[in-house]
């Protein structure tokens, strides 16, 4: 029987939540961005945060929204979160976070929330605070608002290749297009164009006071193997460090050896391991 109940956190506990998020700035970046932008009121945040631990000593968090993300979740917290969540309908499209917590949750939730479409148990989490030592591609730049139509097909191709389903399958892609638009308008989408077509793209999908997290890295199939990715990625890292945040972070599938080599050349170092369960 659980002696420390899980509870939904509200705005009065925001300082305690932010303190925990500061302790795990890379794995908790998506949650930190949400809290900074919209606070802890569920009707504003499009999600809710569960807390584990005494009111005077909050220990662990679990964000529940489009994704489910445990943060600093101890074994006891994982068991407590799973005990509560097992009685709820699954609404999230994925579980993502530190591998031990995600896999612990999935071990307890798979009977009621399964089956999963894919489980990725080993995703190296990488970060850097140093400008790249390799040359940068001067053709990689921020995408302009009038170039969304050119960027969007590449974004769809990247998403479909990475996630395994098309973002156009739900609401004909309107939500995904809004997301791409938002990133462009915020100056967080990068691309290299050749003859008007995207040959490389990446986004700062998450930005906090501690890190800019890169996602959506993609090279057009016909340009793969030409060695453009390292210089292109270096350009993104350089701009993000100079303009956006004190560190740049990302996570990558362990089996994606070419991408891992690119990130290593750009100065990224391991800071942990994530896992993702996709539905």
Question: Is 133 inside a domain boundary?
Answer: no
Confidence (pLDDT) at 54? 83
Half-sphere exposure of 150 (CA within 13 A, CB side): 19
Question: Is 68 inside a domain boundary?
Answer: yes
Give the count of domains, the chain: 2
Residue where a domain terminates, one of 72, 96, 114: 114
Give 3's pLDDT tier (boundaries 50, 70, 90).
low
Range of the domain at 95: 7-114
Asked if 58 and 181 sit in the same domain, the reply is: no
Asked if 15 and 104 sit in the same domain, the reply is: yes
User: Angle CA(45)–CA(50)–CA(55) in degrees, nearest 5?
Assistant: 115
Q: Where are the beta strands (DSSP E) in the chain?
A: 7-8, 48-52, 60-64, 67-71, 94-98, 118-128, 141-142, 189-194, 197-207, 212-219, 248-251, 269-278
pLDDT tens digits for range 266-279: 999 999 999 999 99
Residue 127: beta bridge partners?
249, 269
pLDDT tens digits for range 46-66: 789 999 998 788 999 999 999
Tell me how far the alpha carbon of residue 107 is from its chain's centroid: 22
Give 170's pLDDT tier (boundaries 50, 70, 90).
confident
Which region among 28-32, 139-143, 166-170 has the lowest average model confidence (pLDDT)? 166-170
pLDDT tens digits for range 106-155: 999 999 998 999 999 999 999 999 999 999 999 999 999 999 999 999 99
> DSSP assignment of 119-141, as one string?
EEEEEEEEEE-S--SSPP-TT-E
Instruction: Look up residue 208 and give its two tokens.
Output: 């906090």
Asked if 224 and 105 sit in the same domain, the reply is: no
Mean pLDDT of 57-84: 96
Q: For the whole prediction, is pTM greater than 0.75?
A: yes
């Amino acid at each position: 029987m659980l002696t420390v109940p899980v509870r939904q956190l509200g705005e009065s506990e925001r300082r305690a939540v932010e303190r925990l998020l500061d302790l795990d700035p890379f794995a908790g970046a998506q949650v930190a961005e949400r809290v900074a932008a919209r606070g802890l009121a569920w009707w504003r945040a499009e999600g809710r945060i569960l807390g584990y631990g005494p009111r005077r000593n909050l220990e662990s968090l679990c964000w529940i929204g489009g994704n489910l993300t445990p943060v600093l979740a101890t074994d006891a917290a994982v068991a407590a979160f799973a005990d509560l969540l097992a009685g709820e309908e699954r609404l999230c499209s994925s579980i993502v976070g530190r591998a031990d917590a995600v896999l612990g949750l999935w071990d307890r939730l798979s009977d009621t929330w399964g089956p999963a479409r894919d489980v990725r148990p080993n995703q190296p989490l990488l970060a850097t605070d140093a400008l790249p030592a390799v040359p940068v591609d001067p053709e990689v730049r921020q995408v302009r608002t009038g170039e969304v139509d050119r960027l969007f097909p590449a974004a769809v191709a990247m998403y479909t290749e990475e996630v395994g389903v098309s973002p156009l399958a739900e609401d004909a892609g309107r939500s995904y297009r809004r997301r791409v638009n938002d990133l462009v308008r915020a100056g967080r989408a990068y691309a290299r164009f050749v003859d008007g077509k995207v040959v490389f793209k990446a986004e700062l999908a998450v930005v906090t006071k501690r890190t800019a997290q890169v996602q959506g890295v993609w090279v057009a199939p016909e340009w793969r193997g030409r060695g453009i990715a390292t210089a292109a990625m270096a350009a993104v890292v350089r701009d993000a460090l100079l303009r956006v945040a004190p560190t740049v972070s990302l996570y990558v599938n362990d089996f994606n050896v070419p991408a891992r080599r690119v990130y290593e050349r750009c100065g990224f170092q391991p800071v942990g391991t994530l896992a993702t369960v996709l539905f």
